[in-house]
Each structure stands twice: as structure tokens, then as C-alpha cells.
Amino acid sequence: FIMNRFLRIFMWILFLAALFIAIAYFLPKEVNVERTARIEASPKTVYSQVIDLHQWSYWSTWSQIDPEMEVEYLQNGVGVDAGYKWSSDNKNVGSGSLRIASASQLDSIKIIMEFDGQGTANSAYFFTEKEGQTDVTWTFRFDVGNNPLMRWMGIMIKKSVGRAYETGLTNLSARCKVLEQEQEFVVLVDKIEPFYYASIRGEVPFVEISLKMGEMYGQIGTFLAENEMEMAGMPFSFYHLMDDEKIDLECGIPISHIIEGNNLVKTGSFQKTKCATLDFYGD
């Protein structure tokens, strides 16, 4: 009697295990999460808070869960190929690394995440301007593979990530609102492609900078007209050195191809580089 009872229990265990495995293969192989929020800020402000990983501490859900989380930034932590490694004793944060795989300025950011011992996930942010505000769509994709246990865990992962994304977007919205209300500078790293230019450089008294810039651009315009050339881009200026009294100023205008300069106007080529950009409005 006892043996029969144990045998029945054993058979039930086998049956439930088989059922557990069988149902698992009907569960999704991928965990897909998507959340969207409208943020009362410009795409530039919102984009700047995501492309710069140093800013994540202000709005990331996981930074709030464990403010003591250890973070090591990679490639300066800003822009494509930048990333960071994180480590936390909190089981809801864990350890891993992430890297910005690609980005389209003010449009999208794609990220690859490596969770220590748990695999790789892909995340993306999409930014769409709507009536002076920004719709942000945040996605998450994780392949749980063919492991039955991982497929069951995928259900919990989806719920957990979904809640974290909702909280993160709420935090991001609050952060961006504050930045715009306080008119904080928004700095972005951008690429400058190679171009040809004509320019004038000289020392200018600080108090005469506006007047001298006008003169320089006028002289460059005259030079271009004499050579039957048109502007190939927006005018630019470099402040090579400056103090309280004077500026080593260079004003230039992009041109379509290189030509010979003269005693006043020089021509040259600007090499491809990266720069930090911001919009400043004022006197």
C-alpha cells in the first residue's frame, strides 16, 4: 500500500513536470516590452538625457532602487559606443554592462545590455516631436531561448521591466521639465563632417566683437563674390584664445571646393571631428 502511494505521488510529480515543460514551449521565446509617454519638453532636451549616460542617475528606475550602485563609465559615457558597467548587491538591480550601439540625432538611440549570467537584451528609445512636446517610446527585447524555466521567468521579467519603464519615463519627464523651466544648457556631442572654408583671423578687442564679426563676414562675402562662389553652409566662428580685453577670432564661411586665398582671406579644409554643441540665446 505504501509503495503504491509513493508510486502515485512520483507519477503525479512526473506528470506535473512534463506539463510544466510542455506549457513552457507554448510561451513566447522573446520578452518584448514597449512603453510610450509624452514629455513636455523638446526632443533635444529629452534626447540629451538619454544619450549622456551620466544623466541616467537622475531618472533611471534602477538608480533609484539602489543609489549606491557602482558604475564605471566606458568611452566617456556619452554618444555611440559609450557605455557603463554596473554592480549592485540588490537582487533587483544585479550586475552587467550596456553599450550605446547606434544613435540618430534627436530621433533614436539603440542599446545592447549584457546581464551577468543571464544573457543579452536590446533596448531602444524613439523620439517624436508632437506640438512642441516629445513622445518617447522605450522598448525592450530579450530572447529567453528554449530553457523551459527561462520561458516561465519571461512572464515575470515582462511585468517587472514594464513597471520599471513606466517609472523611468515618469522620472525622465520630471527631469526634462525642470531643465526647461530653469533654462539649463543642453549639451550634445555631435559630429562635424569635413568641409572647405574661407576665413579671416585676427585679434579683436572684446568690446568690438560684434562690429568686427560683421566686417569679417562682409569681407569674406566680397571675396566669394569676386571668385563667383556661393556659401556651402552656415557661417561659423572660432575663439582661439580670449581674455578680458581681446579675442583671437576667426570667422569663416563653408565653400564647395578649395580655391586660392589672398592676403586677407585664407582658405582651407576642416577635418572630421566631434564637438560639444549647445544653443545659447542672449545679448
Q: Taken in order 23, 145, 88, 163, is the CA torsion positive or negative?
A: negative
Q: What is the pLDDT, as a whole number, of residue 19? A: 55
- Per-residue pLDDT averaged across 121-138, rounded? 95
Q: What is the mean pLDDT of residues 13-29?
A: 59
Q: How many Cα atoms sit within 13 Å of 136 on the Cβ side?
A: 30
Q: Judge whether 138 and 123 are in contact, CB under 8 Å.
A: yes
d(CA 100, CA 56): 13
Q: What is the pLDDT of residue 10?
A: 59
**Predicted confidence (pLDDT) per residue in 259-275, tens digit:** 999 999 999 999 998 88
Distance CA 165, CA 73 (A): 22
The tens digit of pLDDT for each residue in 206-242 reads 999 999 999 999 999 999 999 999 999 999 999 999 9
Whole-number pLDDT of residue 275: 83
Contact 169, 244 (CB under 8 A): no
pLDDT value for 184: 86
- The 10s digit of each residue's pLDDT in 73-121 is 999 899 999 999 999 999 889 999 999 999 999 999 999 999 887 789 9
What was the pLDDT predicted at 133? 94
